[in-house]
Amino acid sequence: MTAQSASEVSPTLVRLAATDIPLNAPLGAPLLGPDGALLFEADVVIPDETTRDFLFRHFEPHRASGAPATAESTTDASREAPLTLDDMGLAIGGRVGLRGSGWSASSMYASRVIGFSAVRRNGERSLFVTQPVMTGVAPLELTRGETVELVALTGRGVFRFACTVDATSREPFSYVVLSAPGAIRRLRTRKFTRMPTRLAALYSIESQPSASPQLGRVSDISPYGMALTVPAPSAQAGDRLRLSFRFSTDGIDVEIDTSALVRHVGAAESGDAGIAYGLEFEALEPSQRIALKSFMAEHHC
């Protein structure tokens, strides 16, 4: 998973017509949604009219034009009553996502809770977690006094909060001692049934590595799978797809590139051409699943 801070400005957008999209050639410029969110990068190729029709049926392609215009902050100003560590129901062994400061501020690493300090007079308790890790990169090195941001997933909901690094240790294994959580915010009650959505995606069949990526739409999603609507069937149940898509959660743009198993091939939405694949994620990293659950918690109705 790669992630970066979401832009605080939005470009002036121009809505495109089908004739503005070249066929069998790179787009030449990024395609954006009506809200300015990136749909497809400039190097994506639309191979034929069927795929182009699919693009306009499921999305509203725009391109940026002119200078960026200042956008209003989308931060949720609502605040609940102050929450405590006990309110979260965070237990030993629970997974948390952790984002450090500095160069690592945009990347969320996976960690586990391994303990709590004794309760102090003010009722606060320190938090002990394993050294944060992410597949494919070195473990996150934290320093005393550094502020870190965490996302916790518990049976009571999804919570975001900040801590200060009080200490780090390498004996008997690498772990971190964090201050009592501050400014705990509940993102939403934990409900992770499949959620309808409309995310742009690229996919290919893993057994055909030389084939060009194809366009698709994430029609619904859960932390464990998704429905992918595509212009025309090319995979069968049991095939594995390589797919990539992106979303934004709590001001962070997240890109996921992963593999998924085709569990079934069904019909598309009523009135739409094409078909829908029922996919099961096979290789989501813990940090990716945490980001996806955070996204769902923010957008679930």
Calculated CA dihedral for residues 13, 17, 18, 21, nearest 10 degrees: -40
Pair (290, 249) in one structural domain = yes
- C-alpha–C-alpha distance, residues 244 and 27, integer Å: 18
Q: Which of 158, 188, 218 is the last residue of a domain?
A: 188
Pair (295, 216) in one structural domain = yes
> CA angle at residue 122 from 117 to 128, to 5 degrees?
20
Domain presence at residue 289? yes
Residue 235: give its domain's CATH number.
2.40.10.220
Tell which residue, 164, 159, 293, 213, has the closest CA to residue 27.
213
Q: Tokens at residue 13, please? A: 């957008």
pLDDT in tens, 59-101: 889 888 642 332 333 333 334 457 888 888 888 888 888 887 7
Domain presence at residue 74? no
Q: Which domain holds residue 113?
A: 85-188
pLDDT tens for each residue of the chain, 301 residues long: 544 443 334 457 888 988 889 998 889 888 988 878 889 988 898 988 889 998 998 888 988 864 233 233 333 333 445 788 888 888 888 888 888 775 455 567 888 999 999 888 777 899 999 999 887 778 888 989 999 988 887 767 778 899 999 999 998 899 999 999 988 888 755 555 678 889 999 999 998 888 889 999 998 898 888 999 998 888 888 899 999 999 988 777 888 999 999 988 876 555 556 788 989 998 888 788 888 888 887 775 4
Determine contact, residues 151/183, Cβ cutoff 8 Å.
no
**Number of domains observed in the structure of the chain:** 2
Pair (184, 117) in one structural domain = yes
What pTM does this model have?
0.56
The amino acid that residue 283 corresponds to is A
Domain presence at residue 142? yes
Q: Which of 188, 215, 249 is the last residue of a domain?
A: 188
pLDDT in tens, 286-295: 788 888 888 8
pLDDT in tens, 98-131: 887 754 555 678 889 999 998 887 778 999 999 9
Pair (121, 104) in one structural domain = yes
Mean pLDDT of the chain: 80
* Residue 39 region by backbone torsions, left for phi larger than 0, else alpha for psi between -120 and 50, else beta: alpha
Pair (10, 53) in one structural domain = yes
